Amino acid sequence: MLCLLGSAAAGHAALGDPSDKLERTPVGADPDAAADAPEGVPVEAVEEAEGEAPEASPYSDWPNWCAPVERPACETASDCPADPFRGGAPQRCVQPYWAKRDHLDYKICVSAWPTKSERQWRADRLEVFVDDRCGRGCSRSKLLALLKLEAVKESTFRPWKRHRLNPDKEANRRGWQRHAKRYGHEVSGGHVTFREDGNVHYRDVERWQTGLGYYGANAALHTATWDPDAPPEVLCLEAVSTETWLRRARRSWSKISSGIDCDGDGEREFHGTSCDLSTGKCQPSWYDVHNAVAAGKLCPASLKRQAKFARRANKLGLNPYGAVRLGDLGEPIPRATQWAEVQRITARMDAETTAPW
């Protein structure tokens, strides 16, 4: 049964000017399709599954899924508790960047960098996920290369990570206010008004103020892609974060395939960066998928940014401008049974890989 946190009292929180016009989508429908499908693009093209609402999920364990919002203070490493995310390994006692910036004598407990064996173990678990979801016509090696690239860049294979750099925090602050309607709350006059029937976790603002998980996901933007009633910490679960990333990738693929107006002339002339010079026909590439989900842009970024992605992709044997078919992004997990599927896939990860501790 879904565990709710406390009573649902109404309240307000000021966080800037509202810009979101989205209405909350009923659980069980695609919560993003109506929110960001452009006019003329059939929502049906990107629906992962039809049917009834997802089954109740045991979200009560959410406090154990991500690093804490407030890290424990310390003077030496001996003051830090064992790291629950790394098999009880010692944590480090370090001065955070903001304490250095402000010349404060303050230290906190943080996880040590994952070892080579830990990173390989996480990559092996990701490979199990890809093997499970990569169906007919899907290139396992290409999909795995893309996901590894994203997970290494964003979190160094640390699914429990909270992303606390200022750009992450600012983007998440804006997202929390902008997307409140998707979680059953209201936005008016620069304030979020909490409704009793809305997502009960949304009131705990600080939990939504960092990027989360393998892919540094914007908490308010991505949590509803999984379940608008879920806690944001669900994005720290390996299988959930990966499927959520892929759901957004599939949706972006469909939009780009249908054409995007990148120069503002009213015509949808951009169909991707994988182009056949002999025919002039273009379609989405691995770069386009990355750019749409990681940067939130459907139109290409600067050549400098493209080159950075291309270098990382080439190192993993992935052609950054190779054509991507929808099936290359894996078989969607049905929404109606998504929690059971996540449990099954996670159990398979556990059975087929061995933790290095």
Rg for the chain, CA atoms, rounded: 21
> What would the pLDDT profile of 126-142 be if each residue is shown by its tens digit?
999 999 999 988 999 99
Query: What pTM did the predictor assign?
Result: 0.84
The Cα–Cα gap between 11 and 22 comes to 20
For the chain, where are the E strands, in sequence order?
12-14, 73-74, 92-94, 107-110, 162-163, 186-188, 191-193, 211-212, 274-275, 282-283
- CB atoms closer than 10 angstroms to residue 252: 24
The share of the chain scoring above pLDDT 90, in percent, equals 79
In this predicted model, what pLDDT tens digit does every residue of 262-298 receive, in sequence order?
Answer: 999 999 999 999 999 999 999 999 999 999 999 999 9
Return the half-sphere exposure (C-beta side, CA atoms, 13 A cut-off) of residue 42: 3
Say if residue 233's pLDDT is above 80: yes
Amino acid at 173: R
Residue 16 has pLDDT above 90, yes or no: no
Give 148-172 pLDDT, tens digit per residue: 999 999 999 999 999 988 888 889 9
Of 189 and 122, the structure prediction assigns the larger pLDDT to 122
Give the separation between CA 123 and CA 9, rounded to whole angstroms. 43
Mean pLDDT of 291-309: 96
Give the pLDDT confidence score for residue 58 in this predicted structure: 75
Angle between helices 116-133 and 238-258 (to 10 degrees): 60
Mean predicted confidence (pLDDT) in 65-90? 96
Residue 326 has pLDDT above 80, yes or no: yes
